[in-house]
Amino acid sequence: MNAALAVRGLVKRYPALTALQGVDLEVQEGEFFGLLGPNGAGKTTLISILAGLTRASAGRAAVMGYDVQSQYREARRRLGVVPQELVYDPFFTVRETLRIQSGYFGLKHNDDWLNEVMHHLDLLPHAEKNMRALSGGMKRRVLVAQALVHKPPVIILDEPTAGVDVSLRQALWKFVQSLNRQGHTIVLTTHYLEEAEALCGRIAMLKNGRIVALDSTRNLLARADERCATLNLRGDVAAAGIAGLTAHGEGAWRFRFERYEELEALLARLREQRVTVEDLQLARADLEDVFNRIIATT
């Protein structure tokens, strides 16, 4: 299998900061890959270098084997990018916008595909409307459509669901998943970690321009050896003075533990203090817990 994206020793220096400090990364063809990190971690810089919007200070980046600088035409033909910012050209209708974007990639008679993309994104009823007349969610859909006009094998979505309602989010993920099943490589950055957990097979976490974790989503989740119990308790819990219990809303408490013996000890202590357990829910740590721990400790 070939690398859809290959990044070697990528460095990006700005006068006031170094946004990327030697990033190495490979995303294989057909993967649904997550790129996570706090604000300012370097995700957008990395994407911008891959897309040719930013030039690296050192290192190399390639899309489907084509260098993004020396073979930029081949690289860009194989890449579709949904930018983070909600941008549009106010002079044109949705259909004009997509036809123009298609033309930039040398595709003249592309209406069948454009109609299919608009259909999947529920844009067909708005095709003849000016971009200015669309809601924010609809503009976001057009951005996604623009990234797909040339059927790129690699699609990068930079926080595509920021400020987007639930129905669009679901429709978008359904469409993107279907593209992934057809063989398109998907790279996603998002601050909604539950989305990344549900969609991505592999995840890289960036912090201060460095990759601090790179593994399959399953392995990353398995790193979280902590469990969390949420208990609804009746009785004077505060007076009982039980260590490790933290308030979590009215009558609810949280207890984090690694071994079940710790939970057994907690329940025994509660019984001793005549505190009744009315409800108990157990959960493994999710990607958010893993993310927070990795970011805090690296």
Partner 1 sequence: MSAGFNTLLYKELLRFWKVAFQTVLAPVITALLYLLIFSHVLSSHVQVYPGVSYTQFLVPGLVMMSVLQNAFANSSSSLIQSKITGNIVFVLLPPLSYAEFFLAYLAAAMVRGLVVGLGVLLVTLWFAPLRVDHPLWLVSFALLSSGVLGGLGIVAGVWAEKFDQLAAFQNFLIMPLTFLSGVFYSIHSLPPFWHEVSQWNPVFYMIDGFRYGFFGAADVAPEKSLLVAAGCFMAISGLTLALLKRGYKLRH
Q: Which residues of the shown chain bind partner 1 in the complex (CB under 8 A)?
A: 48, 51-55, 72-74, 76-77, 79, 81, 83, 85, 87-92, 96, 100-108, 146
Judged by beta carbon, residue 132 or residue 271, the one nearer partner 1 is: 132
| Rounded Cα gap, residues 115 and 92, in angstroms | 17
Minimum CB separation from partner 1 for residue 173, in Å?
Answer: 23
Which residues contact residue 79 at a Cβ distance below 8 angstroms, ignoring those fewer than 6 apart? 50, 51, 63, 152, 154, 155, 156
Judged by beta carbon, residue 98 or residue 242, the one nearer partner 1 is: 98
Judged by beta carbon, residue 100 or residue 277, the one nearer partner 1 is: 100
Minimum CB separation from partner 1 for residue 47, in Å?
Answer: 11
Which residues contact residue 176 at a Cβ distance below 8 angstroms, ignoring those fewer than 6 apart? 155, 157, 186, 188, 199
How many other C-beta atoms can be found within 10 angstroms of the C-beta atom of residue 273?
15
Q: Which two tokens stand for residue 117?
A: 């993309």
Minimum CB separation from partner 1 for residue 84, in Å?
Answer: 10
Minimum CB separation from partner 1 for residue 64, in Å?
Answer: 13
Judged by beta carbon, residue 52 or residue 201, the one nearer partner 1 is: 52
Q: For residue 210, what is the enclosing H or E element?
A: strand 210-216
Judged by beta carbon, residue 185 or residue 217, the one nearer partner 1 is: 185
5 closest CA partner among 63, 68, 74, 77: 63
Minimum CB separation from partner 1 for residue 89, in Å?
Answer: 5
The SS3 call for residue 152 is coil
| Cα-trace Rg, the chain | 23
